Chains A and B, each alone.
Chain A
Amino acid sequence: MNTKKTIIFFYLTAVWCVATPLFTFAQEMRPSTFSFSSKVAWIMIISLLLIAMFFTVLFLKHKVKEIGAANKKQETKEGNRDLKKYTNSLNSKQIDACLKYLQRIKKGGKNKSGLVSLLPAFIFMGAFTLCNNTAFGQAGTTSTTTSLLSEKGILITIVLLLIPILAGIVLIVVKVLNSLKKYTNKNNIEEAKRLVEYLKLLPEDEMEASFKKRKYALDYTLSHRELSGNEKAEDEKGLININNDMGLPIVALKKKAMKRPNIDPKLSKLILWYLGCATFWLLFGTTVGEYLGIKFVAPDADHLSWLSFGRLRPVHTNAVFWGWASLGMLGLGYYIVPRVSNTNLASLKKGWYALYLINAAVILGSICLMAGINNGGGEYREYVWPVMLLFGIGLILTLINFVQTIAKRTTREIYIANWYIVASVIFAIVISVVAYVPIWQNGLGETIIQGYYMHQGVGMWFMLFTLGIVYYFLPQQLNKPIYSYSLGILAFWTQILFYTLIGTHHFVFSAIPWWLQTIAIVGSAGMIIPVVAGTTNFILTFKGAWYKIKDSYTLPFFLVGIIFYFTGSMQGTAEAFRSTNLLWHFTDFTVAHSHLTMYGIICFFLWAAIYAVIPRLTGKEAPQITIGAHFWMALIGLLFYTIPLMYGSTLKGLMWMQGKPFIDSVVLMAPYWLWRAIGGSLMWLSHLFFAYNMYKMLANTNTVDVKEAAIKELEETEPSIEPIV
């Protein structure tokens, strides 16, 4: 069809017209330099005005054509076939009117006004069909005259000239539309009169019968008992949970968590304390992180030694590592390990001691770092060993506790979640001992151990433990078993095999032995196996249960975590190669990567599990709207944080490779650092929502639950009734 082609053509022209100035705009823009005094802005405004004018002309032309067409129709006067169309599309009310008219005829007296009263209905119908009939006509040529004009003054003048022209065109459009409407109405009234004439001519009985039949068909409704029958509804198995006080839902209503009755309240208290402390450290650590992000944009924000960038950076990283993520994981571990062993926790006391020790380590560590006492600069190894010793003892207590719990399990097999969790605690202890024994690591020995330590800390402590959490909570939240136990086992052993090797890929091209760097790169490539195995396993566990995501507020967190588990980990592999090291090493790309993984994977999984477990312990849930706010702000913030940073870092790497002056690369990064601060602010805000949600799930709200209060009163009155034995 020719019209179709022209429509597509004009659509493309329109897209081009809008896109071209936008592209020029995007290429020239840096957040710091954009202003309305720039030429680009004015050219854009002119282009937009021209586009608007172009479309108005197009629209006018189309309307004029329509009038022409209506005129033609009027002239040909196709009679009855056209009118019959109207009788077939009458609605129930109009048929009623017709029937009444027919009855009146039967009674004898013919009443003309009855037919006239039908007129407005037909007129409305006519107008409606007209409106539905819109299509683009063909039109004139485009005119984009931007290239010749370079003076800003001229551009401004053109804009000023275009405004009254545009206003004139708008006025013309309004006028044309009005006269068109008048004209159409006149036509429709005439057509309605002809319809009346036509109706009069039809045989009365036949018409009545057909109208009645049509009316019956139109008025047909369901009885709403077709499926349920007439029996009274009875929920014999307690499957239905009715929420009585439903207001207008602002967010989609999701399924409520059910309280697990058989959890030891003492254990529950321990878990809640772990998660509560974790939340505190998340808020503290990311507030520091947010401030650090601001310092990239405003380096003179403060001049206090305790708050200077170099001291605060490790405060941020260590607080979110050892405070937030570690305590969060351990808290969830204290729930999972006894649960899948189908027994009680071996020792609550050890659990509490571990909590005190780890909190003490993070408090002391943060103070030491801010006071300028650190271990010499290895990342995540900034706490001095006496401080980290507290953390280590906490881990040893946890290990004993977990293993003793598993030892008295009542199941034969050890569920895979416990493999991951216990192994990660063992490995974390091994790593800490290797890295912190204060009698070795001179010269490059320090660097080799540093590479090993920091990466095993990430992969063997955080990642392995968190995978254990997912192996428990994901199937539980989906209410179906994990897709494949053997894939889980494969991922477990290959993770140990490959991950242990990759530490030194942080020192590619440095003075450490070349063969060691190569091993690290090979190990990084090998990580494809456990990551793909794990991702496949999780995604396939979703199979057939995807619909549950819309009913759940925890599953979206899991899904995001799984996606980042795949992309973040694979990005790590890609970053390890020698060629990519050339480009990205030493840039902020590494920072973006660590946030994609530690935040995208670890934090999202932890949040998923925390939102899943706490309502089961306390019976209280957080408002869905604030959970949603937490989810979206964290996700969008993370993308705002990482994507500009990766893009800018790539440009920075290219600049270094070209041998450009260093300071130019600092200037280059300024807009991307600003984006990082914006994304970071969103992430930080989302943590405020998370903290509020924690409060809602934990705090004793003062409102009395009617049912609970009634039951309590019943229970209290029970003893007064004499028991009949």
Chain B
Amino acid sequence: MELFDNHKKLFTTAFLFFAGLTILVAIIPALNNQANNAALPNAIALSEDAIKGKNIFIANGCVACHTQQVRNIEMDKVWGSRPGIAADYAANHRTDFWRNTATLMGTERTGPDLTNIGTRQPSKDWNLVHLFNPRIVVKQSIMPAFPWLFAIKKQPSKTDIIVTVPAAYLEDKDGKVVATKDAIYLIAYLQSLKQTKLPEGTVASEFLYKKEEGKVAGNTKTTALDGKALYTANCQSCHQENGEGLIGAYPPLKGSPVVTGDDLELYVGIIMNGYNPRPEYGEMAAVGTNMNFTENDVAAIINYEGSSWDNKRKKVTPEEIKKLMDLVKLKAPK
């Protein structure tokens, strides 16, 4: 065939074939997406600090292990309340002339998804300790430590932000661990990562591949199982697996008067709305509200905490929790 024996015709044909398909499946969809797309009306633009933090996030290749996309499937529900949409990424433009746009969607979840991390883990103290060395707060973590975002000072000034690090992680260095500007920027970025609510009247697309058996309400056996899992996923990184917390950072739940005492309303209130009356410990975020806990979830957590680590507490039912949840909702700080 003449086409095959003429190098000009052969290679031009191959080039045009490939280029044509490229235009159809890559260039046109990409152009279309960047032209017909805008951020959601109530999306909050990144602060200056957060932008600097994002650059640190990019420079250290965090995207290698952390995705930022909530897929429209049931199993991704833990990472956000609705599936991600194109508008969520519309605010990302080229970082600068030299560097490409960083949507940071990622392709691998060696670590958890960060789409909503600002809501899931808002504590600055926790994040600082975790960045200094993740294994201080999460023993099983394999995330790298980032000690170069911190300085060690013998005499920190009043404006310095001091991070409480156990001596074992200081590698025989003397002095206090102080967060550098970079660490503060990075945390500003992480805290800014919150899924934007859709405008009123818009319905989020559904999560697909729903689990076949739903949660059985009131079934003590399943709630006992769920309780441990819920605790691991939502509470453990601060209060620890042994329920003893971390000295100077997070209070123990083992033998805690809140867990073992009679004031169930206070207990539910802390889980739903957070807590900060004790200066010796870090502030607790409104974990329950942020994670959209149901009365089943809260009851399971209370029953797990109330029966673990030598704690002895009467079992609670979702029904009595439901009433208290409605009550504490009114007291939630706006």
Closest CB in chain B relative to A619 CB, distance in Å: 33
- Chain B residues with Cβ below 8 Å from A314 are 61, 64
B99 near A590: Cβ-Cβ < 8 Å? no
Closest CB in chain A relative to B248 CB, distance in Å: 22
- Rounded to whole angstroms, the CA-CA distance of A372 and B62 in the bound complex is 11
- Chain A residues with Cβ below 8 Å from B203 are none
- Rounded to whole angstroms, the CA-CA distance of A51 and B132 in the bound complex is 55
Number of A-B contacts (CB under 8 A): 260
- Rounded to whole angstroms, the CA-CA distance of A434 and B37 in the bound complex is 21
For B146, give its contact among A308, A497, A657 (CB under 8 Å): A308
A434 near B14: Cβ-Cβ < 8 Å? no
Q: Which residue of B lies closest to A665 (CB)?
A: B109
- Rounded to whole angstroms, the CA-CA distance of A585 and B113 in the bound complex is 13
For A442, give its contact among B5, B67, B94, B138 (CB under 8 Å): B94
- Rounded to whole angstroms, the CA-CA distance of A666 and B134 in the bound complex is 13
B211 within 8 Å of A by Cβ?
A: yes
A587 within 8 Å of B by Cβ?
A: yes
B86 near A511: Cβ-Cβ < 8 Å? yes
- Rounded to whole angstroms, the CA-CA distance of A456 and B22 in the bound complex is 10
B211 near A385: Cβ-Cβ < 8 Å? no
A414 near B73: Cβ-Cβ < 8 Å? no
- Rounded to whole angstroms, the CA-CA distance of A509 and B75 in the bound complex is 11
A496 near B17: Cβ-Cβ < 8 Å? yes
For A377, give its contact among B21, B58, B73 (CB under 8 Å): B58
- Chain B residues with Cβ below 8 Å from A585 are 71
Interface residues of A in 485-511 (CB under 8 A from B): 489, 493, 496-497, 500-501, 503-504, 506-507, 509-511
Which stretch from B23-31, B121-129, B271-279 is at the chain A interface? B23-31
- A427/B18 contact (C-beta < 8 A), A503-B25, A509-B72, A586-B109 known: yes
B131-142 CB mask vs A (1 if < 8 Å, else 0) is 001110010111
Closest CB in chain A relative to B316 CB, distance in Å: 22
A374 within 8 Å of B by Cβ?
A: yes
B151 within 8 Å of A by Cβ?
A: no
* Residue of B25, B69, B94, B233 with most chain A CB atoms under a 10 A cut-off: B25
- Chain A residues with Cβ below 8 Å from B11 are 403, 422-423, 426
Q: Which residue of A lies closest to B59 (CB)?
A: A372
B21 near A659: Cβ-Cβ < 8 Å? no
- A295/B98 contact (C-beta < 8 A), A434-B27, A511-B88, A663-B138 known: no
- Chain A residues with Cβ below 8 Å from B92 are 442-443, 446
B65 near A452: Cβ-Cβ < 8 Å? no
A309 within 8 Å of B by Cβ?
A: yes
For A582, give its contact among B5, B34, B73 (CB under 8 Å): B73
Closest CB in chain A relative to B296 CB, distance in Å: 13
For B26, give its contact among A377, A452, A673 (CB under 8 Å): A452
B233 near A662: Cβ-Cβ < 8 Å? yes
A377 near B4: Cβ-Cβ < 8 Å? no
A659 near B103: Cβ-Cβ < 8 Å? no
Interface size on A, residues (CB 8 A): 92
- Chain A residues with Cβ below 8 Å from B67 are 586
B148 near A375: Cβ-Cβ < 8 Å? no
- Rounded to whole angstroms, the CA-CA distance of A277 and B105 in the bound complex is 34
- Chain B residues with Cβ below 8 Å from A588 are 108, 110
- Chain B residues with Cβ below 8 Å from A440 are 30-31, 34
A667 near B140: Cβ-Cβ < 8 Å? yes
A379 within 8 Å of B by Cβ?
A: yes
Interface size on B, residues (CB 8 A): 85
B232 within 8 Å of A by Cβ?
A: yes
Closest CB in chain A relative to B180 CB, distance in Å: 12
- A414/B5 contact (C-beta < 8 A), A299-B144, A443-B92 known: yes
- A376/B233 contact (C-beta < 8 A), A300-B133, A445-B31 known: no
Closest CB in chain A relative to B102 CB, distance in Å: 4
- Chain B residues with Cβ below 8 Å from A503 are 25-26
- Rounded to whole angstroms, the CA-CA distance of A582 and B209 in the bound complex is 9
Closest CB in chain B relative to A278 CB, distance in Å: 25
B59 near A430: Cβ-Cβ < 8 Å? no
B148-168 CB mask vs A (1 if < 8 Å, else 0) is 100000000000000000000
A299 near B64: Cβ-Cβ < 8 Å? no
For B145, give its contact among A303, A381, A448, A673 (CB under 8 Å): A303
- Chain A residues with Cβ below 8 Å from B27 are 434
- A374/B59 contact (C-beta < 8 A), A305-B148, A430-B22 known: yes
B73 near A441: Cβ-Cβ < 8 Å? no
- Rounded to whole angstroms, the CA-CA distance of A662 and B34 in the bound complex is 33
A663 near B141: Cβ-Cβ < 8 Å? yes
A247 within 8 Å of B by Cβ?
A: no
A302-343 CB mask vs B (1 if < 8 Å, else 0) is 011100111101100000000000000000000000000000
- Rounded to whole angstroms, the CA-CA distance of A510 and B88 in the bound complex is 11
B21 near A500: Cβ-Cβ < 8 Å? yes
B44 within 8 Å of A by Cβ?
A: no
B63 within 8 Å of A by Cβ?
A: yes
B18 near A511: Cβ-Cβ < 8 Å? no
- Chain B residues with Cβ below 8 Å from A403 are 7, 11
Closest CB in chain A relative to B59 CB, distance in Å: 3
Closest CB in chain A relative to B222 CB, distance in Å: 12
- Rounded to whole angstroms, the CA-CA distance of A379 and B73 in the bound complex is 24
A445 near B30: Cβ-Cβ < 8 Å? yes
A378 within 8 Å of B by Cβ?
A: yes
- Chain B residues with Cβ below 8 Å from A423 are 11, 14-15, 18
Interface residues of A in 437-474 (CB under 8 A from B): 438-449, 452, 456, 460
A512 within 8 Å of B by Cβ?
A: yes
- Chain A residues with Cβ below 8 Å from B142 are 295-296, 299, 666, 673
B246 within 8 Å of A by Cβ?
A: no
B199 within 8 Å of A by Cβ?
A: no
B100 near A310: Cβ-Cβ < 8 Å? no
Closest CB in chain A relative to B71 CB, distance in Å: 4
A598 within 8 Å of B by Cβ?
A: no
A45 within 8 Å of B by Cβ?
A: no
- Chain B residues with Cβ below 8 Å from A431 are 22
- Chain A residues with Cβ below 8 Å from B135 are 299-300
For A441, give its contact among B10, B30, B62, B91 (CB under 8 Å): B30
- A376/B98 contact (C-beta < 8 A), A423-B11, A430-B19 known: no
A409-434 CB mask vs B (1 if < 8 Å, else 0) is 10011100001001100110011001
A445 near B147: Cβ-Cβ < 8 Å? no
A516 within 8 Å of B by Cβ?
A: yes
- Rounded to whole angstroms, the CA-CA distance of A504 and B34 in the bound complex is 16
B108 near A438: Cβ-Cβ < 8 Å? no
Q: Which residue of B lies closest to A591 (CB)?
A: B108
A664 within 8 Å of B by Cβ?
A: yes
- Chain A residues with Cβ below 8 Å from B76 are 509
A496-534 CB mask vs B (1 if < 8 Å, else 0) is 110011011011011111001001000000000000000
A511 near B84: Cβ-Cβ < 8 Å? yes
For B7, give its contact among A369, A414, A441, A449 (CB under 8 Å): A414
A265 within 8 Å of B by Cβ?
A: no
- Rounded to whole angstroms, the CA-CA distance of A512 and B179 in the bound complex is 38
- A443/B86 contact (C-beta < 8 A), A375-B99, A666-B140 known: yes
Q: Which residue of B lies closest to A309 (CB)?
A: B144
B102 near A377: Cβ-Cβ < 8 Å? yes
- Chain A residues with Cβ below 8 Å from B146 are 305, 308
Q: List 15 A-B contacts (CB under 8 A).
A: A299-B142, A309-B65, A376-B58, A426-B15, A430-B15, A441-B100, A442-B92, A446-B92, A489-B4, A493-B17, A509-B72, A582-B73, A590-B107, A663-B138, A663-B237
Closest 7 CB pairs of A and B: A310-B61, A372-B59, A376-B102, A509-B71, A661-B232, A661-B233, A452-B26
- Contacts A369-B61, A509-B73, A511-B84 supplied; 9 other A-B pairs, CB < 8 Å: A295-B144, A376-B104, A382-B61, A407-B7, A445-B101, A496-B18, A582-B75, A586-B67, A662-B78
Binding site for A on B (CB under 8 A): 4-5, 7, 10-11, 14-15, 17-19, 21-22, 25-27, 29-31, 33-34, 37, 58-65, 67, 69, 71-73, 75-76, 78, 83-86, 88-95, 97-110, 112, 133-135, 138, 140-148, 208-209, 211, 229, 232-233, 236-237
